């Protein structure tokens, strides 16, 4: 069966709804993951017919948050990484389906002057351990905003951004560790040398028009799905956020 997935950091779902979110959503994806909803479910006055909704909102109002729309109802939904974690920023949703796990993630930003880098490093370890546990049971598809450009090819000005949040050696090494744990970057598996393929642009005037961006949104798959992947796309011409949506087509 062919599955079509999409992922989009909307930088505020209510704002993105007003900027044409539905135009892209209604292309008919089987599962649609949203990051940075910046809202609680009870604030929603919109819905999409034929889709189940699974929310993980941050305790802090107007901050972070993830959401998954899916046509098929999953066997189970789990929010977060650790039931004992007392910091709820709404960053992870895991859905269990018969043939695979689907994980939506919004990784913490290391922030200005790397104020949150140490927290980010600890969080990365917990996230990797979570996905490794899942992969021991059945194939895993992970998507979302990972807040890191993995390699120099993944951002316009790598030299100027060394040691900046999102391109520190520490963040890149944690991403590499996740891949080494048994996952692969779907876009790079299909397009290893494609340049200027970005998913996020600063709101500074002219940067998106000149494609001065970063690729920080990904679909990662467990290696046992390597032969199942059919297509991975980036949609830079879809506006509504400082990120653009990405998609994945897999034969499961």
Instruction: Indicate which residues carry an active-site annotation.
Output: 106, 145
CA 113, 188, 51, 139 torsion-angle sign: negative
For residue 29, how far is the Cα from the chain centroid? 16
Q: Which residue has the tokens 């505020």?
A: 12
d(CA 133, CA 33): 21
Q: Which positions ≥6 away from 226 have C-beta within 8 Å?
A: 184, 189
Contacts of 188 (CB under 8 A, 6+ apart): none
Identify each DSSP E strand in the chain by its residue range. Answer: 2-9, 31-35, 52-56, 66-70, 76-79, 92-96, 101-106, 140-145, 183-185, 200-201, 213-214, 217-222, 229-234, 246-251
Structure tokens at 125: 């370890």
CA 217-238-220 angle, to 5 degrees, is 20
Is residue 153 within 8 Å of 97, Cβ to Cβ? no
Angle of helix 117-135 versus helix 169-180 axis, rounded to 10: 10
């Amino acid at each position: 069966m062919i599955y079509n997935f999409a992922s989009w950091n909307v930088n505020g779902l209510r704002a993105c709804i007003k900027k044409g979110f539905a135009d892209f959503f209604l292309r008919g994806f089987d599962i649609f993951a949203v990051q940075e909803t910046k809202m609680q479910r009870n604030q929603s006055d919109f819905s999409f017919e034929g889709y189940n909704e699974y929310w993980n909102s941050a305790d802090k109002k107007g901050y972070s948050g993830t959401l998954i729309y899916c046509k098929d109802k999953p066997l189970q939904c789990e929010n977060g990484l650790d039931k004992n974690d007392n910091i709820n920023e709404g960053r992870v949703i895991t859905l269990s389906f018969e043939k695979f796990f689907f994980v939506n993630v919004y990784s913490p930003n290391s922030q200005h002057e790397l104020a949150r880098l140490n927290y980010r490093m600890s969080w990365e370890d917990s996230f990797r351990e979570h996905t490794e546990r899942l992969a021991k049971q059945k194939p895993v598809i992970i998507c979302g905003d990972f807040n890191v450009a993995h390699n120099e090819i993944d951002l316009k000005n790598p030299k100027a951004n060394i040691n900046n949040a999102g391109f520190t050696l520490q963040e890149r090494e944690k991403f590499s560790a996740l891949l080494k744990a048994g996952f692969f970057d779907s876009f790079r598996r299909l397009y290893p040398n494609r340049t200027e393929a970005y998913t996020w642009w600063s709101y500074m005037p002219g940067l998106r028009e000149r494609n001065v961006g970063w690729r920080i949104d990904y679909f990662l798959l467990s290696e046992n799905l390597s032969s199942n992947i059919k297509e991975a796309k980036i949609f830079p011409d879809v506006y509504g956020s400082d990120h653009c949506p990405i998609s994945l087509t897999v034969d499961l």
